[in-house]
Structure 1
Amino acid sequence: MRWKELVQQVRVSGQYTTDAEAERILRTVLTVLGTHTSGDVRRELVRLLPVEAAVILARQSPAVRSLTAPEFVEAVAARLGGLTPPAARWGVSSVLGVLADCAGDDLTRRITAALPRGYALLFGRAELAPAAA
């Protein structure tokens, strides 16, 4: 896949009116995600993505602490100039859903397993909880 194709997929998924809008949210989500992924899952995701996206992910230093899913959305909103929470969540889900489709189910499961509870929904996946005894 090429960068323009990835931007187009985000544009369609997020229903953005311009490529510039889609690219802005894509770059921002990749930047924040890059601080919260590491090890094998990060390397595998980097290998699957276009060079431009891979560079954004790979350049990020690991965060001192993992953000919860709502904090992740807030971090993206802050970087984008204070989007409303619903607009930021829409953008995050649009990008992470496209990344999940690119990565496939197995890698997406491993990525979300390495993150705090709540991220699966941002990736467009169900988050199953163990049944109560």
Structure 2
Amino acid sequence: MTTLTPHKPVTPRTEGVVIPAPNRDRRTRRDEGRDDGWRELVDAVRETGQYPTRAEAESVTRIVLSALGGHVVGEERVDLARALPEEAARVIASQIPATRPLTAAEFVDSVATRIEGATPATARWDVSSVLSVLPRLVGDALVTRLLDQLPPGYALLFGRAELSPAE
């Protein structure tokens, strides 16, 4: 039986390939860049939503992204997670897909239940403050794909006009 010493990291083996154990004591420049991406996202939400503190903007960002994560599925969900900073991607990817798609109004109402003291109007502001910064971050093409997947009414939340096809 092999004894492990607490000061030496264990290196797991997978099919003959050695995967280094993560070093949790040192942050790499790559990790710092990802944190910067999260900070930039939260700062953009803070500016757009005119939140008085960064903490409030961060809380709203997490709540809205977690709600969105349950409603975006398939390749769009994967592509959204890839396009976002690592922290935001984790929030999106950690959500269990919703059992039924919510209308835009129901989505806003669901967010309102997660924010203390929120009303439908303030929740709509919060949702729009987060979702309207996504096109700058992930690109218009991906947002269009997300909107194609979501029920009608979400375009306004992303800061876009809701256009109806001519009949």
Q: Which TM-score bucket, shorter chain as reference?
A: over 0.9
CA distance in 1, matches of 2:136, 2:110: 23
Q: In the TM superposition, what whole-angstrom CA distance separates every residue of 1:61-110 from its partner, at most 9, and x where no partner exists? A: 11000010000000111011240111110010010001122121111111
Question: Given the two structures, how large is their TM-score scaled by the length of structure 2?
Answer: 0.77
Tell me, which stretches of 5 or more residues in structure 2 are unaligned? Answer: 1-35
Name the structure 2 match of 1:63.
98
Number of aligned residue pairs? 132
Task: Calculate percent identity across the aligned residue pairs.
Answer: 57
CA distance in 1, matches of 2:103, 2:110: 10
Name the structure 2 match of 1:15.
50
Q: In the TM superposition, what whole-angstrom CA distance separates every residue of 1:30-54 from its partner, at most 9, and x where no partner exists? A: 1100000011111111011111100
What amino acid sits opposite 1:78 in the alignment? T
Segments ≥4 residues shifted beyond 4 Å: none
What amino acid sits opposite 2:126 in the alignment? G
Higher Rg: 2
Q: Structure 1 residues 128 and 94, CA, compared in 2 at 3 Å: closer, same or farther?
A: same
